[in-house]
Amino acid sequence: MSTQPTSATAASTASVDRFATLLRFLPDIDRSLATRLAGDPEVLSLVDLHRLSGVVVDALTRSGCEQVQASLRQSAYQLAAISLRTKRLLHRALDALEQREVRPLILKGYGLAARYYPEPLSRPTSDVDLLIRPEETERAEEGLARLGLAPMSGPTRHFSIQHHHHVTFSGSAGLVELHFRALSDFGVHLEADVLLQSAGETVVDGRTMRFAAPEDELLYLAVHAAHHLCQRLVWLLDLKLLIRAVRDLSWERLVTTADAAGVSTAAHFALRMAKDVMAAEVPAEVLRRLRPPAWQSAAVQKALSPDQLIRGTAVGSLREEVLKKALLATGPLSGARYLQQIVARSLRRRTHRLLPGITPTWWAG
């Protein structure tokens, strides 16, 4: 599924500026600002573009503003309904996996919203992301099968296992992404153990759930946002709210882990955008230590500016997306590896279409 938002370049500079002001206040907003923004259709279009309608409606309601457009409220309710369905699937999936003696770590989604958002259902969530150890995969699949969820199969599954980070399970109950790695991108794998080794437990909705340590979770969320080039600003809000809630974050640990995992450039990009766009409290020293070489930093800033993210114009094509993501690789070897993987996959798929009888089936993935 594409994560690229529909372009909103038609918004005037004044409306973009007003939306940018709103972003710096979220998830809160004072009544005077709420009144000025609630009636601006271009601002509301940008809110909808970034799937922030639930967060904004909640902020407007808590501010006492009664001028909430019906279209914005309807969008918020629709997203909340999807999030509620996903919340139910999360609980059912945890029950099913526990029966198979698998206790996964919960990534982003409702588990994140329930801990850090003023109204958990205001954050849009359409699937369940669970992280397990690779050796638990068979038992986890058996558990999810009891929910009527079938895994992807064939060449796509082969490619995911070799080069990606999760296997997708789908059915009438919804969508579960079962991660055997935290994330794969930018020419490196962020392995499951990075998050699992220091996982802790938190009670959510009356049950004990497993989450990564705050520093590891923040790093994962930053790299995940960079993985999608921060095209949905709600991913930057995730970073802001975690930082705001956990006042004793060990930034030293985050920087050290990012360096060791080879994702410091991606983390720098997402955290810098969270600071610039959302006014997230990211220490300048942390950004300095994560910052890539000067030429690379300048190239990233030119290719992916806050204004582009806000307007939804950061990416115009698949080729542009690939090249911009290559800029977020840490070091030339990772960047070269990332591009090599992209080119090799494209060549395999083209060759298989031309010679289906003599090339391996998995080349189609």
pLDDT, tens only, 27-42:
998 877 777 776 788 9
pLDDT in the model for residue 1: 40
94: left (phi over 0), alpha (psi -120 to 50) or beta: alpha
Six token digits for residue 258: 């990012």
Residue with tokens 């573009």: 49
How far is it, in rounded angstroms, from Cα 101 to Cα 96? Answer: 9
Token pair recorded at residue 57: 């409606």
- Fold held by 83-212: Beta Polymerase; domain 2 (3.30.460)
Token pair recorded at residue 336: 């070269």
- Of 116, 75, 71, nearest in space to 235 by CA: 116
Residue 2 confidence (pLDDT): 42
Predicted pLDDT of residue 31: 76
**In this structure, are residues 108 and 129 in contact, taking their beta carbons and an 8 Å threshold?**
yes
Contact (Cβ atoms closer than 8 angstroms) between residue 90 and residue 106: yes
Question: Can you give the pLDDT at residue 156?
Answer: 72
- CA neighbor of 94 nearest in space, from 203, 235, 241, 254: 203
Low-confidence ranges of the chain (pLDDT < 70): 1-9, 38, 158, 162-163
Residue spans in the chain of domains classed CATH 3.30.460.40 = 83-212
* DSSP assignment of 88-107: HHHHHHHHHHHHTT--PEEE
Given this model, what pLDDT does residue 32 score?
77
Can you give the pLDDT at residue 163? 66
Q: How confident is the model over 59-89, as pLDDT tens digits?
A: 988 888 777 778 888 999 999 999 999 999 9
